[in-house]
Amino acid sequence: MTGGPGFGLTGQVALVTGAGGGIGTGVARGLADAGAAVVLHARHRTDAVEALAAEIAAAGGRAHTASADLTRPDASRGLVGAAARWGGRLDAVVHCAGVQPVRELAGMDDAAWREVVDVNLHAAFGVVQAAAAHMSGRGGGSITAIASVEGSRPAHGHAHYSAAKAALIMFARAAAGEYGPSGIRVNTVSPGLVDRPGLAGDWPDGVRRWTAAAPLGRLGTPADIGAACVFLASPAASWITGHDLVVDGGVGTRPAW
Ligand SMILES: NC(=O)c1ccc[n+]([C@@H]2O[C@H](COP(=O)([O-])OP(=O)(O)OC[C@H]3O[C@@H](n4cnc5c(N)ncnc54)[C@H](OP(=O)(O)O)[C@@H]3O)[C@@H](O)[C@H]2O)c1
C-alpha cells in the first residue's frame, strides 16, 4: 500500500484567533495535539490563552500568546506578523473570533448591526488578506474561517449574524479562487450548536430541540470542530479549497418543514 498525504501537522506553525473562546480552545488543542506550534490570540481573555499555552507546553507542545481587537485597522496585519516572527514561519490560520448576540430586527439599531458584521465578516477579511500576503511566495498555506450553519439557515434574532456568516462563506470561496495559484487554500467550517459550560441551563429549549433534530443525537463539542480544522490544515486536505465543511451532527439532513 502506498502512503497518502498525512493528517499530522508536525513542523507547522498555526495561528488561532479567538483561542480563548470555547471553539477556539478546542481548535488550538487539536492543532497542538497534531504537532503544530500554535499562536493563541485573544481580544480580552488573555488569562484564558495564557492558561491554554501553559497546558500545551506541559504536554510537550509549543505555544505563544498574542492579543488584538481585530476590528481595529491594521490589527490583523500586526497579529499575523507577530505570529510569523515567533514561529519563524506561518503555515496555517484558523480564524475563530466572532460574536453571536441575539436581537430581533425590530429593535436592532445601526451599532448592533455593525458590531456583528464588523467582527464576523470585516475582521475575517483583514485576517485572510494579511495571512495570504504573508504566505504568498513562502510556499503557501491553509486558512480556515469558522462560519456557521446559520450562514445557510438563519435563526430567529440572528439576521445580522446569519448575513455575516453567509457572506463569510462566499468571501472564503472567492479568496480560495484568488489565492489558489499561490498555494494558499481557504476554507470555512460551519458548526452547528456547540456545547459550552452552562448552555443547557441558559437555553434548555434550544439544547432539547437541537438534540432531537440531530441524527447523531447530541450537541457538538469544541473538539469536533477542532478535528475538522486539523484536517483542513493537514496535507491530507491539500486538494481541498473553497469548501464549506458543515459539522452539525447531521441536522442539515432534516427537512425544515
Ligand atoms: N458556539 C457555537 O455553537 C457556534 C456555532 C457555530 C459557529 N460558531 C462560531 O464559532 C466561533 C467561535 O465561537 P465560540 O462559541 O467559541 O464563541 P466565544 O466563546 O464567545 O469566543 C469568541 C472569541 O472571539 C473573540 N473576539 C470577539 N470579538 C473580537 C474582536 N473584536 N477582536 C478579536 N477577537 C474577538 C473573543 O475574544 P475575547 O474573549 O478575548 O474577547 C473570543 O475568543 C465564532 O465565529 C462563532 O460565530 C459558534
User: Can you give the CATH number for the domain in which 81 is found?
Assistant: 3.40.50.720
Averaged pLDDT score across all residues of the chain: 97
What distance in angstroms lies between residue 21's CA and the mean position of ligand 1's atoms? 6
- Establish if 141 belongs to a structural domain: yes
Which residues are registered as beta bridge partners of 144?
94, 187
- Establish if 27 belongs to a structural domain: yes
How distant is the alpha carbon of residue 204 from its chain centre? Answer: 25
Mutate-to-test residue for ligand 1 from 25, 39, 100, 160, highest number of ligand atoms within 8 A of CB: 100
Give nearest CA residue, ligand 1 atom 19: 21
- Closest atom of ligand 1 relative to the 161 alpha carbon: 47
Confidence of residue 201 (pLDDT cuts 50, 70, 90): very high
- Establish if 7 belongs to a structural domain: no
Give residue 215's domain range.
13-244
What distance in angstroms lies between residue 22's CA and the mean position of ligand 1's atoms? 7
| pLDDT score recorded for residue 239 | 98
* Count of domains observed in the chain: 1
Which tens digit of pLDDT belongs to each residue from 48-85?
999 999 999 999 999 999 999 999 989 999 999 999 99
- Establish if 57 belongs to a structural domain: yes
- Establish if 3 belongs to a structural domain: no
- 194, 224 in Cβ contact below 8 A? yes
- Establish if 94 belongs to a structural domain: yes
Buried b (16+ CB within 10 A) or exposed e, 127-155: bbbbbbbbbeeeebbbbbbbbbbbbeebe
Per-residue pLDDT at 230 exceeds 60: yes
Q: Is the CB of 45 under 6 A from ligand 1?
A: yes
Q: Which of 70, 96, 161, 162 is catalytic?
A: 161
| pLDDT score recorded for residue 2 | 56
Catalytic residue at 179? no
